[in-house]
């Protein structure tokens, strides 16, 4: 009997040690690789567009897992618009509404950011089926604070995804001047 209790104590201490050692891995955000990949893709598209516009050397890289930007002079908010404005915001930059801080998040007038937010929200809800949608880590979403708040205020993953997709579609319509 005493030997069995000792075996149980040894196995229990190994289990407790493993749980403590692996706890940080369990707490990590499972969407991080997806989010990092999305940022890298948007940065790549942005640098390509800036290079095509002749201002690729002005792109300001902000390090891994952050969006690259460019000085406002290379993509101004008001006419005369530059080639980069037309690449970022589409047919009629004035109609699309150029940003005051142009960056990789403006590719296709920001539509790709909205579509990424929709994807990340749906992926979060599939990976965490019992979690409330407003518990999604905000670092996994790229849109504006007001846009994210509006989408998450729907209270459901499907409502938030629908809101992000609608905003992305509207951004594409602005890109094409519709």
Nearest one of 24, 27, 25, 35 to 138, comparing CA atoms? 35
Burial of 85 (0-12, 13-18, 19+ CB in 10 A): buried
Parts of the chain with a pLDDT under 70: 1-28
- What are the structure tokens assigned to 22, written together? 């692996």
Give me the half-sphere count of Cα atoms (radius 13 Å) on the Cβ side of residue 3. 0
Tell me if residue 60 falls in helix, strand or coil: strand
Give the C-alpha separation, 97 to 76, whole Å: 10
What pLDDT does 99 receive?
95
pTM comes to 0.83
What pLDDT does 101 receive?
95
Q: What is the pLDDT of residues 121-136, one digit of tens each?
A: 999 999 999 999 999 9
Give the C-alpha separation, 123 to 103, whole Å: 25
What pLDDT does 4 receive?
59
Are the beta carbons of 136 and 152 closer than 8 angstroms?
yes
What pLDDT does 1 receive?
55
Nearest one of 59, 113, 56, 53 to 86, comparing CA atoms? 53
What lies within 8 Å, CB to CB, of 175 at 6+ separation is: 89, 90, 91, 96, 108, 109, 111
- What are the structure tokens assigned to 36, written together? 């990092």
What pLDDT does 29 receive?
86
- Which letter does DSSP use for residue 68 in this model? -
């Amino acid at each position: 009997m005493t030997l069995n209790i000792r075996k149980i104590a040894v196995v229990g201490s190994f289990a407790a040690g493993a749980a403590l050692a692996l706890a940080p891995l369990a707490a990590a955000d499972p969407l991080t690789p997806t989010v990092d990949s999305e940022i890298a893709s948007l940065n790549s598209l942005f640098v390509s567009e800036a290079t095509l516009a002749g201002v690729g050397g002005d792109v300001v890289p902000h390090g891994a897992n952050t969006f690259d930007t460019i000085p406002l002079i290379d993509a101004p908010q008001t006419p005369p618009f530059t080639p980069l404005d037309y690449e970022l915001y589409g047919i009629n930059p004035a109609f699309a509404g150029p940003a005051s801080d142009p960056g990789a998040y403006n590719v296709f007038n920001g539509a790709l950011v909205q579509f990424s937010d929709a994807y990340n929200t749906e992926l979060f809800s599939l990976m965490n089926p019992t979690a409330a949608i407003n518990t999604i880590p905000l670092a996994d979403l790229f849109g504006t604070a007001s846009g994210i708040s509006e989408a998450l205020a729907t209270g459901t993953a499907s409502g938030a995804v629908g809101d992000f997709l609608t905003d992305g579609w509207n951004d594409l319509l602005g890109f094409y001047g519709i």
